[in-house]
Chain A
Amino acid sequence: MAEDLKQKGLTVLRRALADPMAEFRDGQWDAIERLVLGRERLLVVQRTGWGKSIVYFLSTRLLRDEGAGPTLLISPLLSLMRNQIQMAERLGIRAATINSSNRDSWLDITAALQRDEIDVLLVSPERLANDAFREEVLLPATARLGLFVVDEAHCISDWGHDFRPDYLRITRVLQAVPRTVPVLTTTATANDRVVEDVVAQLGHGITVSRGSLMRESLQLQTIQLPGQSERMAWLAAHVPTMPGSGVIYALTIADAQRLAEWLQLQGIDAYAYWGGLDGEQRVELEQRLLGNDLKALVATTALGMGFDKPDLGFVIHYQRPGSVVHYYQQVGRAGRAVESAYGILLSGAEDAEITNYFIETAFPPEGHVDEVLTALHTAEDGLSVPQIERAINLSRSQIEKVLKLLAVRAPAPVAKEGTRWYATAVPYVPDTEKVTHLTAIRRAEQARMQEYVEARECLMQFLARELDDAHPAPCGRCAVCRSCPLVPETYPLSLVEQATQFLRRSDRPIQPRRQWSYNVLRGDGAGGTIPADLRAETGRALCIWGDAGWGEMVRAGKQGGWFAEVLVAAAVAMIRERWRPAPGPTWVTWVPSLTHPTLVPDLAGRIAEALGLAFVPCILKVRDTQPQKDMRNSYQQAHNLAGAFSVVRDQVRPEPVLLVDDMVDSRWTFTVTAALLRAAGSGPVYPLALCETTRTGG
């Protein structure tokens, strides 16, 4: 029977590939046989390009021929789904996708599923986690499930490298899949620890199939360049010489944005790619990269999951990632179907600080968990996230982090119904041991990554060994094997100077807030939109806290109680040369503080003098508030400021005004003081801050 089946499978494969001599790759038929004949649960660890889709599509074909229900395939990337649907069609498999972008077709697809006319349904993890979608669409459509496939299964592992809450719900669905249904989980990135973890999570009788992760065309190199300006100069000098199109990874969104802008200034066709872009922009950038229609995407980790470009020419890291698993996952996307491709890791002075920050903020402190749970327990009928914000002093992202931590427990102490979160009848027991354990693992991984940067052995072998490849061997192609740099480590000093100047000019817009938070500020219970004539204009921040431009100098000024004259000059240059607010301000005032009464007015006074504008004290702080940065969410921040300021009406001038503060975080202080100024009859209000203090990855 197995031989007949194999012949049949081979026939389908050869027809699909239009190659009468095609054979299965190592492990492919074994996996298909286990799924189709044994209804087993499999974890397949194979490098990208090995042909995992052959396994699930052929298994689907053979299972369907035996009368099984359709395959459900959970896959994270829309553009990848399109590729996979084309691939399926070549194998004679009817595939369809239900996702947020094709809502119009849901009814047709559901009906086709009910008529049993669809062989494979592709669904994103986010969809699978949506309760209404599950109940209304998915449950009736896939009640008869022939095969369950989860791509990028390393996401199931823990709170590890790519923790995604939606994947933990997938884990629970997988655990609940009865023995009657075969399960295939696949990943291209997993060391033993991740494999063990996935196996432990998926429980009963899962078989692991592993192939070599070594990549023959990939040429690796590491370069240590502590300064941001030096790395920017290196990129400007060497990216144009790289083969084809590629990806440059940065650790934070701000870095990705600035780097893309810098490379563009240097005439390089590079664009920032990060999680906050809307779906259409992301798909467009992915398509342009796939079509070699740009030189590079400067991306955060948002690019990676499932991204499949066989001829990716290079992957360069601007900063060192937090772990080898992460690094391999990103660099391993280069050079699958080309003769040679570069994987170059730049490493800088700020890397450790950033990865430390990510490690330290990965888990919410127990205090946060208690606060959220207490709020939910006190509620009779659950709470929405904004309602939780109103009840406790945590930021929205902190609240969401807590809710995720709790929701993925099994059984879970919280549950979401519609938009509301409820405490369930499940007690919460803190798992401090697990948190300590995982944090220790992350520290160790961070250290291993640093060792990679300094490695004196074959770099590919180092990665393969870290990923527990069974047969790591020297590659003969990396910078260490060849004992010379593949790409020169040098760069023109003139570019360093330009990069420094660029960083000093890379100020950040301050977008005005348009909504009051829950009417606390108005106190009249009326609607939440800030009327246009009370809003601030778009302002500017000179730099990012602690960065290589002005950031360090602002930090020193804040600590020493006096901002250096160069910062005043830089702010003035920013206003005159780049910002040029119009109509231009005719007077300057500042946001007062009771704890540092002279720092900001001194700064504002010097800026006013340098610009030749009137310097007008007119805002009073009437009561002391908590520092805004200690107020964790919009509601608390706004509440903290309600009634904190007043404006001396007869000082206010009816002309445009520059409103100066040292830091900007939530933008509430600017929002409130600008509204007070406008209400007292001032012209347009332009907020100016020396420094922005937020930091986000992803």
Chain B
Amino acid sequence: MLSTHMLSPDTEATLLLCGRLGKARQTEIAPLTPTEYARLARWLLHAGKRPADLLGIDTRTMLENDEPPVPAARLLTLLDRGGALALALEGWSNRGLWVISRSDEELYPRRLRASRSSPPVLYGAGDVALLARGGLAMVGSRDADVETLDFTRRAATSCAEQGVQVVSGGARGVDSEATFACLSAGGSTVAVLADSLARAALSGKYRDALLEENLALVSPYDPASGFDRGSAMGRNKYIYALADHALIISSSTQGGTWSGAVEALRHADTPVFVRNTGDVPEGNRLLREKGAKPFPAEPWADLVSELDCVSQAEEAPRSAPESAVQAEQEDVGVKFQQGQLLQLDPSRKGSVEGRDTSHPPNEDRS
């Protein structure tokens, strides 16, 4: 079991820079976005430093002299939040939550490290090892009809029976059906929450599964966060990133499921399948046109080979599945450890700055 309140120095620094540390407050300076953090990490790397080096007594001098990519004053203010960090961390620990950062080599899921805009900090409950196990992402609307929910249940049950993990967004509707169907069939599952992790971790409906280590709840957002549309959208990419394959069960032509699927298709990190049997909504058909592959028909005797089979039959994937080696090369944390510098192209750095969070720099790997 992870203990939250004894962090590695790197994670401590990352959390000070990127964590909101409790409820949102208006007066405070904004923590770094994943993009800003990635920029800072590259800058540190370039200077032969690690995040922990920002915790030293001479940090002020270092930052004020060296022109970091984020204004030094903002960094110093963020790093100065030691009291807030201590209280927030103790509160999470008190609820049985853990927190990990990109620098936690063993714990931070490799597949997320390599993903678009990988979150600098992850908060969670349950078995952190499940994050590395991949599986099938199942996404769909909050307000699903009975037929959709029945399909979800059958698919999640098959996954569980065939040892395929289910990754979902932990919302009501399809997400919740997928999670609990998988659990009742004895499978393991990961739910990537957009809000309220602290509350979910204490909820009776998840407790047994968390204790039996069949469920991991994980979120890139502060455990005290409430619902926020932007967060709900923002976490979609992590659902895809944590899975080997993704299944769109039902999508309208707008909203979170739709935009998440379109985004995933555009980046083609994870093969995207769509349910196209039965009475499927308009969104499913349009996604098929946009390149989502047809999800194999029931019964699913061997889901993984059937998915691979469809993938091969369809057009070749736009990017080859990442190898462990590639993933490692993308890994800022690993690079810190190895002390190998990635030469930063100044022109590229300039181009990076204009991007929004869905197009972060460490995605460019072609």
Interface residues of A (CB under 8 A from B): 38-39, 69, 72, 114, 131, 134-135, 138-140, 142-145, 148, 169, 172-181, 203, 377, 379-382, 407, 410-413, 415-417, 422-427
Contacts and interface: CB of A to CB of B under 8 A. Distances in A.
Given A131-B91, A139-B21, A411-B96, 12 more contacts: A176-B5, A176-B89, A177-B83, A177-B85, A177-B86, A178-B55, A180-B55, A381-B204, A416-B94, A422-B202, A423-B202, A427-B211
A358 B326 CA distance: 62
Nearest to A381: B204
A417 B202 contact: yes
Contact of B93 (A138, A176, A180, A203): A176
Nearest to A416: B94
A172 B96 contact: no
B18 to A, nearest CB: 14
A555 to B, nearest CB: 45
Interface string B191-217: 000000000011111111011000000
Contacts of A415: 94-96, 202
B125 A148 contact: no
Interface of B: 1-7, 9, 12, 16, 21-23, 25, 27-28, 55, 57, 59, 79-91, 93-96, 98, 125-126, 201-208, 210-211, 224
Contacts, number: 141
Given A179-B9, A424-B201, A425-B126, A143 B206 contact: no
Contact of B90 (A39, A144, A173): A173
B174 to A, nearest CB: 23
- 3 tightest Cβ-Cβ pairs between the two chains A and B: A145-B83, A425-B210, A424-B96
18 contacts: A38-B57, A72-B83, A114-B27, A135-B224, A139-B83, A139-B84, A144-B82, A175-B5, A175-B6, A176-B6, A176-B89, A177-B85, A181-B86, A381-B204, A412-B93, A422-B202, A424-B125, A426-B96
A425 B96 contact: yes
A139 B88 contact: yes
A139 B27 CA distance: 13
A239 B17 CA distance: 62
Contacts of B27: 114, 140
Nearest to A66: B60
A423 B207 contact: yes
A446 B22 CA distance: 45
Contact of A139 (B22, B93, B95, B125): B22
A175 B6 CA distance: 6
A269 to B, nearest CB: 45
A640 to B, nearest CB: 29
A177 B6 CA distance: 9
Q: Is the interface of B mostly helix, strand, loop or mixed?
A: helix
A69 B211 CA distance: 40
Contact of A425 (B23, B55, B207): B207
A427 B211 CA distance: 6
Contacts of A427: 1, 211
Contacts of B205: 380
A425 B81 CA distance: 28
A139 B96 contact: no
Pick the most buried of B16, B82, B88: most chain A CB atoms within 10 A of its CB: B82
A425 B95 CA distance: 8
A69 B79 CA distance: 12
Contacts of B98: 411
A426 B208 CA distance: 10
A143 B83 CA distance: 4
Nearest to A68: B80
A178 B82 contact: yes
A177 B98 CA distance: 16
Given A175-B5, A179-B12, A407-B94, A144 B202 contact: no
A143 B204 contact: no
A148 B86 contact: yes
A134 B22 CA distance: 10
B206 A425 contact: yes
Contacts of A169: 90, 94
B28 to A, nearest CB: 7
Pick the most buried of A114, A134, A203: most chain B CB atoms within 10 A of its CB: A134
B64 to A, nearest CB: 13
Contact of B94 (A138, A144, A172, A177): A172
B220 to A, nearest CB: 19
Contacts of A382: 202, 204
B82 A177 contact: yes
Nearest to A408: B94
A381 B200 CA distance: 11
A143 B211 CA distance: 33
A425 B201 contact: yes
B96 A412 contact: yes
